Amino acid sequence: GTIMDHQIRWCLDASSNGTANGTLLQLWDCNRQENQKWIRPMLR
C-alpha cells in the first residue's frame, strides 16, 4: 500500500522507480505509481 504523510499529503516514493538496495527514497506527490507501493511485513 501507499505510505502517506497526511499533514503535507505526500507519499513515500522510490526515486527514479528504483528497486535495488540503496535506492533513495523521497516524499513526492501521490500518484499511485508502482514506485509508491510498499509491502509491509506482518507483525507477530
Tens of pLDDT, residues 1-44: 999 999 999 999 999 999 999 999 999 999 999 999 999 888 88
Q: What pLDDT was estimated at residue 7?
A: 95
Q: How many residues does the chain have?
A: 44
3: its cell numbers: 505510505
Q: What pLDDT was estimated at residue 43?
A: 86
